[in-house]
Amino acid sequence: MIRIDSSAWIRDDDLLLTFDRAGGPGGQNVNKVSTRVTLRFDPQRVHGLDDARRARLAAHIDARLDSDGRLRIVCGEHRRQASNRAAAIERLVRILRDALRPRRPRLKTKVPRSAIEGRLRSKSRQSQRKRSRRTPSASDDGE
């Protein structure tokens, strides 16, 4: 069992792990041993979540899901399969914890007067700059 937080967990058999040969460090070992780990996980299989937390999880990781609705994590940075497996599971737990962490609502703030005045001064300077580039014509009143 893998703990996500105090109330949420994943059973070990809910993870689908596949192994294949990876690039990177390892010399000839890379060509012989399947050390890269691909972890696939269905987020609906997280146990101990109420409806609100399940909705928060779904909203947070929706863009990371594949066409089957599963989260896919690939880890091939280590030379050993066991290290890659541990790193992939750790990455999954970190993603799920981050998704389940409650967010503070954004507080609306008023635009500071100095920002408004600065924007207007900038617009005025730009207008003056463009006006000074114009060629004077007979219809201009000397502005």
- Cα(103)–Cα(101) distance, integer angstroms: 6
Contact criterion met (CB below 8 Å) for 65 and 22:
no
What is the pTM for the complete model shown? 0.68
Taking the domains of the chain in order of start, what are their residue ranges? Answer: 2-100
| Structure confidence at residue 14 (pLDDT) | 86
| Structure confidence at residue 113 (pLDDT) | 97
CATH number of this structure's domain 2-100, picked from the four choices 3.40.50.620, 3.30.160.20, 3.80.10.10, 2.40.40.20: 3.30.160.20
| Structure confidence at residue 103 (pLDDT) | 86
Contact criterion met (CB below 8 Å) for 2 and 47:
no
Pure H helices in 7-139: 29-32, 51-61, 81-100, 113-133
pLDDT under 70: residue ranges of the chain? 24-27, 138-143
- Cα(138)–Cα(118) distance, integer angstroms: 34
| Structure confidence at residue 143 (pLDDT) | 54
